[in-house]
Amino acid sequence: MKQISPSLRARDAVLEAIYSDVFKKLDSIETRLKDLDAKNEYLFYCLKRLEGETDLETRKRFFLSMPNAEGSVRDYQIVANYILGRVKDICDSHGLHFFLSGGTLLGAVRHHGFIPWDDDVDVYMLRDDYRKLEGILRDDKELEMRRYYRCLGDDQRAGYIMKIKLRESDLFFVDVFPNDTFSSGEDADMIWRKSDELSRAFHRELKQLYLAHGFPVEISRPTAFPALDEAVRSLEDKYLQKLLEAAGLEGLNQYICMGLEMEDGLRLLHRVIPASAFLPMHYNAVSFENRCYDAPRDTDRFLTIQYGDYWRLPGNMQPLHAEEFLNISENDKEVCERIKQQCNLGD
């Protein structure tokens, strides 16, 4: 062992040095590639620029000139936009508010409609309006709000997203995300730590509920499972009360955060942010598919938090739900065609 140990230590030291050198070179290559991408994009926009235009004006004109999606992606966009318009009508008639978010808000700002390769719609609602809308839709003949449960395996966290969907189809929907406001003497980081701790505890209990109820659902599909729905709503209420006790949800709105029932990746998009960046909303501030919708008060800040420089050329231009369109049911095809005809957009 005395003879072998020095050799092993020497080998480990050599390997560590090699690995360190390799990682440094990979980092250097990645940095150079990013720099090259930035230079290529700069040259691209230089070639597109008209006389007297600023760089930002060129970028805005370029994104607005992009053609709409075609085929099944455009069909999906048409139906999702129809649902969004109905939600807008219902909210307006009941004094409720939501604002466009995610790629939908980005599309409104950059394209005045859908991003050509985007195939879903995202909206944010403050908790009170979110709960009121859920109740209103129980009596709507066309739309309903349903949880799309999912659990990706034994080692994954259970989760769900609430979607406003057509009653006659599970394929077409609008994602709706609740947001909570806080009034607290603590800073945003402390509130985030408290809400994140409660969110993790919520999801641990949620997984136990899934196991207790058998979880007979497919990923990203709703299931008629009233017992689980009722148990999940009770769990939400339990943890919202815990959040109220921990951070405060009444009084002046100092901070805003995505609901604790949402998954980590979604909640991390904007953590806890001063409510002044979002509230009061700018009513009918952005145009999306020829209709005006509410937007966060500081739309630029909201999009920058999520996307960084959102006027850069995107790296990924693939539809999120492309695989679902490959096996679309006859019922969904009929629904799509009916909506298109109703919107005077048929073939």
What mean pLDDT is predicted for residues 1-10? Answer: 56
Confidence band (pLDDT; 50, 70, 90) for 119? confident
CA 244 to chain centroid, in Å, comes to 25
The answer to whether residue 150 scores a pLDDT higher than 90 is no
Confidence band (pLDDT; 50, 70, 90) for 175? very high
Percentage of residues of the chain with pLDDT beyond 90: 44
- Helix or strand or coil: residue 267? helix
Tell me the pTM: 0.85
- Helix or strand or coil: residue 179? strand
The answer to whether residue 340 scores a pLDDT higher than 80 is yes
Asked which of 26-30, 80-84, 166-170, 194-198 is least confident by mean pLDDT, the reply is 26-30
Q: What is the DSSP string of 192-217?
A: HHHHHHHHHHHHHHHHHHHHHH----
How many angstroms separate the CA atoms of 54 and 143, rounded? 45
The answer to whether residue 8 scores a pLDDT higher than 60 is no
What mean pLDDT is predicted for residues 273-281? Answer: 84
How many angstroms separate the CA atoms of 248 and 205, rounded? 22
pLDDT tens readout for residues 299-339: 998 899 888 899 998 877 666 655 666 678 899 999 999 99
What mean pLDDT is predicted for residues 51-55? Answer: 92
The answer to whether residue 239 scores a pLDDT higher than 90 is yes
pLDDT value at residue 140: 96
Percentage of residues of the chain with pLDDT beyond 70: 80
What mean pLDDT is predicted for residues 284-289? Answer: 95
How many angstroms separate the CA atoms of 205 and 71, rounded? 42
pLDDT value at residue 202: 93
What tokens were used for 206?
């949620």
Confidence band (pLDDT; 50, 70, 90) for 291? very high
The answer to whether residue 56 scores a pLDDT higher than 60 is yes
Q: What is the CA radius of gyration of the chain?
A: 24
Confidence band (pLDDT; 50, 70, 90) for 180? confident
Asked which of 63-67, 133-137, 151-155 is least confident by mean pLDDT, the reply is 151-155
Asked which of 85-89, 242-246, 295-299, 303-307 is least confident by mean pLDDT, the reply is 242-246
Strands (E), the chain: 99-100, 122-126, 143-150, 159-166, 173-182, 255-258, 272-274, 282-288, 291-295
What tokens were used for 17?
């040095």
What mean pLDDT is predicted for residues 206-219? Answer: 76
The answer to whether residue 289 scores a pLDDT higher than 90 is yes
Closest Cα partner for 282 from 27, 157, 98, 150? 98
Q: How high is the mean pLDDT of the chain?
A: 84
Burial 257-271 (b: 16+ CB within 10 A, else e): bbbbbbbeebbeebb
pLDDT value at residue 88: 97
